[in-house]
Structure formats: structure tokens, C-alpha cells
């Protein structure tokens, strides 16, 4: 059944979906890694594909930027298309001093400066965390791929341009990096009783100023993609 944002039928999506923010990254994954990839959604240019990876049926679809956009697409996938697990693959800005561009981070938990969780009317502060099964699988798969990921807390921020520079304050609590979607994804997964994990590649460093180009961000993060596909 189609939704306001996804023009697909039940069964068009595999049980596991990779979700980059960028539709062009979704297309790159489909064209370079999925066998017999079929376009199953293109509403508003948010491309979604389903195909096979090493004999497994896998889907990939963009989430757009920010928690509101991730909130919409992950909610619809979980609730209307029988998706069981969403693995976010995206870029992040490093906060931890020992991270560098192209390093891979697995989001154990997702702190946030946003208000997405207010809708659940909880009598306190909810701590959004990843699926332990997916996280454990990712750590094991990384070994086989020769990847040494960092595992820890990330920050999902509502702001890309932060006038107060408050983002860096999260580093004193051991937060590794900042992105813009994972807290909403983890909360939606928790509410739906489904699974989620974020796999990130560091694209720049908020303290040192190291950075990668937009083209490198779009097409150069293949290790992150391969790791996510292994556990999908």
C-alpha cells in the first residue's frame, strides 16, 4: 500500500533496509552492490531500490536530511511495509580528538539536542540505543573486512550551522561524532519493536578542520556500505 511519501506495495521492500541520507548515495549502492536492483520508490526523488546482495534480498532508500525526514521514512517503512531492520549509512562530523576522516563509527547510542522524543510523553529523558544484535553483527563483520570501527555515543543534532558552537560541548561526555538522523531512527525502532543501527563514516572534524569533498562523501564511503550490507 502506498503512503503519502512512499509509492510502493507491500512486499516491495526487503526486511532489511539500508538508509543513506542522500538519494544519490542510495542509487550508488543499488547500482554497484545489488543484483537485479529494482526501483520501488521515487516520490520526491527519494529513491528506493530492492535487489540481492550475496543471495540476500536487501533494500536501500534515502532518508533525507534531519530527524523530521528520517522520522517520516523510517516510520512508514516499519509500520506499513513490514521492514524489520533499518541500517543508517551516512557521514558525520568528528568531535573526539582521535577520529579522522574516513574512520568508521558505530552508533551505540544517539544523544540529541532535538525535541523528537517529546511526542512519546515519557516522564523523563529517553536514551535511544541501537539494536544489540545488529551492533554485535557489525563488530564481527568489520573484523572480516579488516575494519576497526569505533563504537560509542553519537549526537543527532537539529542544527548543521550552530551559532552557539554548543555541539563541541558533547565531547566532554565522550560523544564521538555529530550527525542529524539517528536519534529519530532509534526512537522509531524502539516504539515499533523493530531494529536499527547507524554506521557512519567521518567526513570532517569539527575541531581540527579536516574534511572530505562532497564527491568523496557521495561515492567514497564504500567500506561503510559493504559493512552495512554484510549485516542486512
- The percent of the chain in helix, strand and coil, each rounded to the nearest 5, is 35, 30, 35
Q: Which of 4, 32, 200 is nearest to 105 (CA)?
A: 200
Q: Which of 54, 24, 52 is nearest to 38 (CA)?
A: 52
Q: By the 8 A CB rule, do 51 and 85 touch?
A: no
Q: How many CA atoms within 13 Å lie on the side-chain side of 117?
A: 21
Residue 45 Ramachandran class (φ > 0 left, ψ -120 to 50 alpha, else beta): left
Angle between helices 23-33 and 222-231 (to 10 degrees): 70
User: Does residue 204 have an active-site annotation?
Assistant: yes
Q: Which of 42, 113, 158, 204 is catalytic?
A: 204
Residues labelled catalytic:
204
Amino acid at each position: 500500500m502506498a503512503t503519502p511519501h512512499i509509492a510502493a506495495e507491500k512486499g516491495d521492500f526487503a526486511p532489511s533496509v539500508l538508509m543513506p541520507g542522500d538519494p544519490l548515495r542510495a542509487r550508488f549502492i543499488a547500482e554497484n552492490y545489488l543484483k537485479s536492483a529494482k526501483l520501488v520508490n521515487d516520490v520526491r526523488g527519494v529513491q528506493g531500490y530492492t535487489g540481492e546482495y550475496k543471495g540476500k534480498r536487501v533494500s536501500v532508500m534515502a532518508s533525507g536530511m534531519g530527524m523530521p525526514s528520517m522520522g517520516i521514512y523510517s516510520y512508514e517503512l516499519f509500520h506499513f511495509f513490514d521492514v524489520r531492520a533499518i541500517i543508517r549509512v551516512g557521514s558525520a562530523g568528528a568531535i573526539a580528538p582521535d577520529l579522522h576522516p574516513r574512520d568508521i563509527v558505530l552508533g551505540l547510542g544517539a544523544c540529541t539536542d532535538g525535541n523528537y522524543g517529546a511526542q512519546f510523553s515519557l516522564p523523563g529523558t529517553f536514551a535511544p540505543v541501537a539494536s544489540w544484535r545488529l551492533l554485535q553483527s557489525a563488530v564481527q563483520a568489520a573484523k572480516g573486512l579488516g575494519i576497526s570501527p569505533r563504537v560509542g555515543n553519537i549526537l543527532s543534532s537539529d542544527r548543521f550551522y550552530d551559532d552557539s558552537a554548543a555541539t563541541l560541548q558533547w565531547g566532554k561526555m565522550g560523544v564521538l561524532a555529530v550527525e542529524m538522523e539517528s536519534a529519530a531512527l532509534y526512537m522509531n525502532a524502539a516504539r515499533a519493536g523493530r531494529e536499527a543501527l547507524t554506521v557512519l563514516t567521518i567526513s570532517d572534524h569539527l575541531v581540527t578542520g579536516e574534511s572530505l569533498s562532497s564527491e568523496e562523501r557521495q561515492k567514497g564511503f564504500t567500506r561503510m556500505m559493504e559493512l552495512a550490507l554484510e549485516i542486512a
